[in-house]
């Protein structure tokens, strides 16, 4: 990902745009056909791009594209003077940025595929591994660890769909001249270059490609980062000393802390939490970039020099790191079961409540019956058993036979739709 944003990579895209345009202009008779040929012949020699030399010219001209054109002209010779005919710098710069963002999106899409594959594998592995579901950080009802993974899979699948749309948003090419009127360059040139680069033509540009496209692109990166944060925080919670249902992989050579040798800290997912903030921070500046003055101002450019590489490289790194975390996550089913059991069966209270209602009690009566026993269990810190208390509560047994009460504490009851959910998420 870093390579996309190196000066050399940028200059290579610049060259391709100029050379493709020269070929088409040659075909159309705007410039000699020899111009495009000379450019591509030189290119075929796999020339090194001398970034320092171009920088030196720019230091004088204070204009990056002119500096580049001058340098190419020095290499290729007089035919190069036909480059850039009727074009404006932004034709090159903006199309290049979009090529870079498309390449970045392609890498991020691969990252997402790798992450989805890792999540899917762990989902299937733990499809029926029981664990407590928590709302508000409080034990609620049983779920499976596979279901947690299935949710993540569905979420990152949505991220992929959004990224495909975001990629399409920025996959455009503009070769339309100083104010977008094609006054000195035929739209056929734009068509040709767009086609060669695998882009669509920008329907109407105004020297620049409109920045709402890029705002949307970075907004999608921000949403993906937020989903990364969600899964990272899940791992951080599971690794807490008191919970310890899962842990980031701990390599033998690794020291967790300079002072406390027993500690295994979820530093990768804490790091991801921070990186999510970093990627998200690109969103508002990208939106502030939309409202350029008239046909263009250049305020967007300094912003993009930061957020272009930073947001894509960080997200690439974060997705790869998260994939590693999930892939190698140490999962502890015994501890999950232990945590499930620690509340003395309170997690089954909802089922008892329903059974009482269905047995004819009002909602309120049922609620009070369950609540008075549940509170005893709660206050015993899980030492008392809800099942035993209910079986000893005459008002309860008056409404429900003991065997019915017992059935309500069956864990498998909660997992009967896991297969349905998996089919929705992973297909058949």
397 to 426, contacts with a second copy by CB under 8 A? 413-418, 420-421, 424-425
Determine the straight-line distance between the first and last CA of the chain, rounded to whole angstroms: 35
Residues 199-238 that bind a second copy (CB under 8 A): 201, 203-207, 210, 212-213, 215-216, 219-220, 222-223, 225-227, 229-230, 232-234, 236-237
Catalytic residue check, 257: yes
**Residue 297 CB neighbours (<10 A):** 12
Annotated catalytic residue, options 63, 126, 136, 237: 136
Nearer to a second copy, 44 or 203 (CB): 203
Residue 180: Cβ-neighbour burial (10 angstroms; 0-12, 13-18, 19+): buried
**Residue 242 sits in the site that holds a second copy (CB under 8 A):** yes
Nearer to a second copy, 48 or 311 (CB): 311
Give the Cα separation of 362 and 267 in Å (integer).
Answer: 50
Nearer to a second copy, 53 or 243 (CB): 243
Quick one: which segment of 37-45, 106-114, 246-254, 394-402 binds a second copy (CB under 8 A)?
Answer: 246-254
Catalytic residue check, 294: no
Q: Are 176 and 182 in contact (CB under 8 A)?
A: yes
Give the Cα separation of 201 and 410 in Å (integer).
Answer: 61
Give the residue, chosen from 60, 392, 398, 404, that forms a contact with a second copy under the rule CB under 8 A: 60
- Which CA distances in Å does 114 have to 137, 211, 240? 30, 30, 27
- As a dihedral over the C-alpha atoms of residue 81, residue 87, residue 93, residue 95, rounded to 10 degrees, the angle is -120
Give the Cα separation of 216 and 202 in Å (integer).
Answer: 16
DSSP 8-state secondary structure symbol assigned to residue 208: B
Could you give the string, one character per residue 252-281, with x where binding to a second copy holds by CB under 8 A and - elsewhere?
-xxx-xxxxxxxxxxx--xx-xxxxxx-xx
Residues 126-185 that bind a second copy (CB under 8 A): 132-143, 147-148, 150-151, 154-155, 158-159, 162, 165, 169, 177-184
Quick one: which segment of 5-13, 102-110, 345-353, 396-404 binds a second copy (CB under 8 A)?
Answer: 345-353
- Which CA distances in Å does 246 have to 36, 152, 264, 284? 60, 16, 11, 35
Residues 306-325 that bind a second copy (CB under 8 A): 306-307, 310, 314
- From the CB of 62, what's the least distance to a second copy, in Å? 5
Catalytic residues: 136, 257
């Amino acid at each position: 990902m870093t390579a996309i944003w190196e000066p050399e990579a940028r200059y290579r895209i610049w060259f391709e745009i100029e050379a493709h345009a020269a070929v088409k202009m040659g075909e159309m008779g705007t410039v000699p056909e020899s111009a495009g040929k000379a450019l591509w012949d030189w290119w075929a020699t796999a020339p090194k791009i001398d970034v320092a030399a171009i920088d030196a010219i720019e230091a004088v001209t204070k204009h990056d594209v002119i500096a580049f054109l001058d340098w190419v002209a020095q290499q290729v010779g007089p035919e190069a003077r036909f480059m850039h005919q009727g074009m404006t710098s932004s034709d090159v710069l903006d199309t290049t940025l979009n090529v870079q963002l498309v390449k970045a999106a392609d890498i991020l899409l691969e990252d997402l595929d790798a992450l989805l594959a890792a999540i899917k594998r762990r989902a299937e592995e733990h499809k029926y591994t029981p664990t407590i579901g928590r709302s508000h950080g409080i034990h609620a009802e049983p779920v499976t660890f596979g279901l947690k993974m299935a949710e993540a899979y569905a979420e990152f699948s949505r991220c992929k769909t959004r990224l495909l749309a975001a990629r399409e948003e920025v996959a455009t090419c503009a070769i339309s001249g100083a104010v977008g009127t094609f006054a000195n360059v035929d739209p056929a040139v734009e068509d040709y270059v767009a086609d060669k680069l695998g882009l669509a033509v920008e329907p109407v540009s105004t020297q620049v490609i409109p920045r709402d496209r890029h705002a949307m692109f970075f907004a999608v990166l921000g949403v993906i980062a937020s989903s990364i944060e969600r899964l990272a925080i899940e791992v951080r919670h599971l690794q807490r000393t008191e919970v310890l249902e899962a842990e980031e992989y701990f390599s033998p050579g690794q020291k967790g802390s300079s002072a406390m040798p027993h500690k295994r800290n979820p530093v990768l997912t804490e790091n991801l939490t921070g990186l999510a903030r970093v990627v998200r921070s690109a969103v508002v500046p990208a939106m502030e970039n939309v409202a350029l003055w008239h046909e263009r101002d250049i305020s967007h450019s300094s912003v993009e020099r930061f957020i272009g590489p930073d947001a894509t490289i960080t997200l690439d790194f974060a997705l790869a790191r998260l994939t590693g975390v999930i892939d190698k996550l140490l999962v502890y089913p015994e501890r999950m079961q232990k945590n499930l059991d620690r509340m003395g069966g309170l997690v089954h209270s909802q089922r008892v409540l329903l059974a009482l209602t269905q047995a004819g009690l009002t909602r309120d009566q049922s609620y009070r019956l369950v609540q008075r026993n549940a509170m005893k269990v709660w206050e015993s810190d899980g030492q008392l058993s809800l099942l035993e208390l209910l079986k000893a509560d005459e008002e309860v047994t008056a409404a429900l036979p003991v065997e019915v009460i017992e059935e309500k504490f069956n864990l498998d009851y909660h997992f009967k739709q896991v297969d349905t959910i998996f089919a929705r998420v992973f297909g058949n």
